[in-house]
Amino acid sequence: MELPVYLDNASTTPLDPRVADAMVRCLRSRDGFGNPSTDTHELGRKAQAQVEAARDQVAALINATGGEIIWTSGATESDNLALIGAASYRRVRGRHLVTSATEHKAVLSTCRHLEQQGFRVTYLEPDRNGLIAPKAVKAAIASDTILVSIMHANNEIGVVQDVAGIGAVCREADVLFHVDAAQSAGRLPLDVQRQCIDLLSVTAHKLYGPKGIGALFLNRQRLRRIEPLMHGGAQERGLRPGTLPTHQIVGMGEAFELAARAMDQDTARIASLRDRLWDGIRTVPGVTLNGHPQRRLCSILCVSVGGVEGESLIFGLRDLAVTSGAACNSATDEPSYVLRSLGRSDQLAHSSIRFSLGRFTTSEEVDFAAASFRQAVDHLHGMLPDRHAIATG
């Protein structure tokens, strides 16, 4: 077992060797280096064929068509393009958006930007388990609402939202529905038709693919056009200019096809390891599970520890590659806004640890993580002058 044990798959996943092989074949092949936007010669057309094949692979995972997939640099860009692009294009219909207070910052920061452009945004608060009820979305929709954005699975606590129920509410009100599926793609069933999703953001590096490539699903029956964020070329239907990175796209396609084939098996095995980890640490004094106990992603286990200082806990877990909250917030000293939305105290929010497991996680690593966690918490609790603080947090 190699140290540190990697349990930060929600931040990024290791590249699957089969994906790496597909990318190397593309890089080394004469059929892969041409510009896929060039159709005047055979090499451009061959590269384009690989791009289109990958587009179909990504679409198949979410029950879409290849023509509804727009390549981006990742889920953050996809979120920006979906929200700013759709809101700007539909601003004549209204200027109101609905989202949740626990969204990824790629959505929250984009909504703040839209507010500065004259849009109005309603931020729904979740219940204590992190859930947003479809009826809460329905109540928030007004006559000038043009878009709702709710993530499928939370990147910090793993809570899974009822996107089908929310989608039905949005479709009934004729409001666009955007879903950030960066964490859920390949781990939960996604069907953009059945779940009434109009825009959906995905990325490769959360699913054992390469960094720097993602996609936005755009429901062509409901939304044929959005405003682009960048200008300078006609690639991707004029919505995302720039020369396409063929080898990264091929890698994303391979990763999504592998996920489609292995999703049931991977999900069951990873969920079993997550439960094994929880069983190994749940009796530690002061430990609190964050998020709904059942409606959560197979791969994420987020806990807080009463009476423990977060930075000290992370230091005590130096043989584990884990994070305190989401990776996008790890450079700040602020307590997790997701956990604060659940009603956690500043102390519990600061002392949170997110374990996120993946395809290559082993039972040996999980047992080592549980033992390391117990030892680190016991050591820190032993330094407390007031043992009552363990329970109160």
Does 328 qualify as catalytic in the annotation? Answer: yes
Structure tokens at 240: 């995302």
Cβ neighbours, 10 Å, residue 312: 14
* E runs forming strands in the chain: 5-6, 69-72, 96-100, 120-124, 145-149, 176-180, 199-203, 214-218, 287-289, 300-305, 320-321, 352-356
Dihedral (Cα; 229, 235, 241, 244), 10-degree rounding: 130
Q: Three-state DSSP class for 193?
A: coil
Q: Choose, from 26, 298, 302, 328, the residue flagged as catalytic.
A: 328
- 393 half-sphere exposure, CB direction, 13 A CA radius: 19
Distance CA 327, CA 13 (A): 13
Q: Exposed, middle or buried by CB within 10 Å (0-12, 13-18, 19+), for 53?
A: middle
Distance CA 28, CA 341 (A): 49
Token pair 């999980």 in the structure block, residue: 366
Token pair 């990264």 in the structure block, residue: 248
Of the candidates 389, 40, 52, 16, the one whose C-alpha atom is nearest the C-alpha of residue 250 is 52
Q: Three-state DSSP class for 125?
A: coil
Distance CA 360, CA 269 (A): 10
One-letter amino acid identity for 195? Answer: Q
One-letter amino acid identity for 216? Answer: L
Cβ neighbours, 10 Å, residue 248: 22
Structure tokens at 185: 């793609």
Q: Three-state DSSP class for 42?
A: helix
Kindly give the residue spans of alpha helices, DSSP state H, lying in 8-116: 17-28, 42-62, 75-89, 105-116
Q: In what order do the strands lie in the sheet with 300-305?
A: 287-289, 300-305, 352-356
Annotated catalytic residues are 328
